């Protein structure tokens, strides 16, 4: 627990108040807002495509794992056969 004898002042907040109106900046912000609405539809389409590709990739990886497992088991069985045959 700290003992503080003096009250510390809180930092002052910065408040920015523009003194002029920038028409070009306002037009640019409106255009960005309008383009953002159109891009949201594209984003959902891209997200759906990415999910589909991930599912396909996951399936391919699972197939590769099972094939690797079969190959490794075959090699082990083959080695065991040669060891106990001799």
H helices of the chain, in order, are: 23-85
Dist CA 27 CA 14 (whole Å): 26
pTM: 0.43
Angle at 59 between CA 58 and CA 62, to 5 degrees: 85
Whole-angstrom CA distances from 7 to 3, 51, 63, 65 are 11, 56, 67, 65
Dihedral sign, CA of 72, 76, 77, 82? Answer: positive
Q: What pLDDT does residue 4 have?
A: 67
- Predicted confidence pLDDT, tens digits, the chain (86 residues): 567 677 778 888 888 877 788 889 899 999 888 877 777 777 888 899 999 999 999 999 999 999 999 999 999 999 999 999 86
């Amino acid at each position: 627990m700290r003992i503080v004898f003096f009250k510390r002042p809180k930092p002052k907040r910065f408040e920015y108040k523009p003194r002029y109106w920038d028409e070009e900046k306002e037009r640019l912000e409106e255009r960005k807002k309008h383009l953002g609405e159109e891009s949201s539809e594209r984003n959902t389409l891209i997200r759906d495509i990415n999910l589909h590709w991930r599912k396909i990739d996951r399936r391919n990886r699972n197939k590769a794992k099972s094939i690797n497992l079969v190959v490794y088991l075959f090699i082990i069985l083959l080695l065991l056969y040669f060891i106990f045959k001799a």
